[in-house]
Amino acid sequence: METIRQLQLQLKQRQLNSYSLIEKSLNQAKNSSDVMTAIYADQAMSSAQHADSLIATGATNSPLLGLPITIKDLFDVQGQTTMAGTVVCAGEPAAAQDAPAVSRLKNAGAVILGKTNMSEFAFSGVGINPHYGTPVNPFDLDTARIPGGSSSGAAVSVASGFAVAGLGSDTGGSLRIPASLCGLVGFKNSQYRVPRAGAVELARSLDTVGAITRCVDDAIILDQVLSGQDLAVQARALKGLRLAIPNTLMMDDLDETVAKSFSKLLITLTQAGVEIREISLKELDEIAHINQPGGLSPIEGYAAQGARIEADPSKVDHRVVQRMYMGKGISAADYLHLMDRRKNWIERVNSVIEPFDALICPTVPIVAQPIQALLDSDDEFFRVNRLLLRNTFAINFLDGCSISIPCHVQGDLPVGLMISASCGKDSVVLGIALAIEAHLKKSHSK
């Protein structure tokens, strides 16, 4: 799948029509095991025909007009029951209207192919789902590897080439983790910028709506549609850019592939004039203590989904139940104390990172792991899950904005670079990502 701008140019110049593009995408989607939980073939083909008629009249003002997009099964689509990767929602009323994020995509002319698979209740960075199967990471056809989660199907739909973007969510890394493991771009915007209504809730203090795309420019286009804001992002000049690497926590336990890719990235950025400084952001070590008792995600997750789980826990993945129950019975006083400690922590961290343009680190410290090993062992599942969420969750806890872009050495499994900043600095993060992405493409072409 080419970039959004490339496809729009082909549509405008009549080198391509939406009908044939969507027909091909639907065929691929139907043949992609465990990626889609619902396919809207008739509606998609009708939308494609409508897009072609608009394009024929010269109405090509929307960059998403006639292009295929998938929707994580966390979002309401009118007339459909939102399953959220579980089976306990079966029989619940169908959504009365589209979630605002879905509505904005449709209003922009995007063709919705259907709903994508996900971690149950969005509660895992791994992407395994015992009810609907696990989408296989398309970067290794010899070994079935995890796609990352919780927006697993969203990532694989883009990586497999039948969608230009996958609408997803990010509570602790659920956009950036699968983007990193699948060689894609995942942008976690500042939480307040995109409405979360009509999305099944996990943790209201952390949940963020965004998209997984093929490149940074595509991420900017999706952000504009989803947020209704044009940030007018421009690529930053690399020379003189000040980037900080937190050497507390975020650089621990890197596997060989990730360490090699990140080391080479630092060399090439330094040669381009980027000022990179390691900082001892010791506040990161405080997260585990502050995020107690229970943990913010389990506390708010149980409050949101506890009734569904308690109706029949046997129908929910025991790994999800185990973590949700960590938030059961937490007092209001303990919850409010946690929120107060978090607020103080955010203020202190922001004061430390304020002199820098952004923080950088590997998105996750490991490459995509084989699925079977995690199915066979709960201990291995939780070990990998903790590693996958470690770096990304810190930015959600900070209430910041963050993007993962591919930075792996060609021929290796995908590795992501995470670029992060304080809340509201979305345009800064995107501008830096544009510049680094362009620099890496230039370096790889040599």
Question: What 3 state SS string does 120-173 have?
Answer: HHHCCCCCCCCCCCCCCCCCCCCCCECCCCCCHHHHHHHHCCCCCEEEEECCCC
User: Could you tell me which of 238, 194, 187 has the C-alpha nearest to residue 213?
Assistant: 187
Q: Look at residue 399 and tell me if it is in a domain.
A: no
Instruction: Using DSSP, state whether 362 is helix, strand or coil.
Output: strand
pLDDT of residue 60: 75
Indicate the number of domains in the chain. Answer: 1
pLDDT average, residue stretch 235-264? 97
444 has pLDDT over 80: no
252 has pLDDT over 90: yes
| 16-52 pLDDT per residue, tens | 999 999 999 999 999 999 999 999 999 999 999 999 9
443 catalytically annotated: no
pLDDT band at 186 (very low <50, low <70, confident <90, very high): very high
220 has pLDDT over 70: yes
| 280-293 pLDDT per residue, tens | 999 999 999 999 99
pLDDT average, residue stretch 58-80? 94
pLDDT average, residue stretch 233-241? 97
Cα distance between residue 364 and residue 145, in whole Å: 15
Cα distance between residue 165 and residue 55, in whole Å: 21
72 catalytically annotated: yes
Q: Look at residue 92 and tell me if it is in a domain.
A: yes
Which of 152, 157, 174, 297 is flagged as catalytic? 174
Average pLDDT score, the chain: 97
pLDDT of residue 294: 92
- The domain of 86 spans 4-227
For the chain, percent of residues with pLDDT exceeding 70: 100
pLDDT band at 61 (very low <50, low <70, confident <90, very high): confident
The CATH number linked to 181 is 3.90.1300.10
Cα distance between residue 80 and residue 198, in whole Å: 12
Q: Look at residue 159 and tell me if it is in a domain.
A: yes
356 has pLDDT over 90: yes
Q: For residue 38, count CB atoms less than 10 angstroms from its CB and return exposed for 0-12, middle for 13-18, buried for 19 or more.
A: middle
> Does the predicted model carry a pTM greater than 0.95?
yes
Q: Look at residue 70 and tell me if it is in a domain.
A: yes
Helix residue ranges per DSSP H, 166-213: 176-181
pLDDT of residue 54: 95
33 catalytically annotated: no
pLDDT average, residue stretch 335-347? 98
Which of 25, 47, 72, 180 is flagged as catalytic? 72
Q: Look at residue 42 and tell me if it is in a domain.
A: yes
Cα 126–chain centre separation: 12
Cα 18–chain centre separation: 26
Cα distance between residue 244 and residue 224, in whole Å: 27
pLDDT average, residue stretch 197-209? 98
- The token duo for 8 is 């729009």
Q: Look at residue 9 and tell me if it is in a domain.
A: yes
Cα distance between residue 364 and residue 251, in whole Å: 9
Which of 18, 25, 150, 152 is flagged as catalytic? 150
Using an 8 Å Cβ cutoff, are 135 and 35 in contact? Answer: yes
Count of CB atoms situated within 10 Å of the CB of 344: 12
Q: Give bridge partners of residue 112 from the DSSP assignment.
A: 69
pLDDT average, residue stretch 239-261? 97
263 has pLDDT over 70: yes
Q: Look at residue 346 and tell me if it is in a domain.
A: no
**Which amino acid is located at 332 in the chain?**
A
Q: Look at residue 444 and tell me if it is in a domain.
A: no
For the chain, percent of residues with pLDDT exceeding 90: 97
pLDDT average, residue stretch 347-371? 98
pLDDT of residue 446: 65
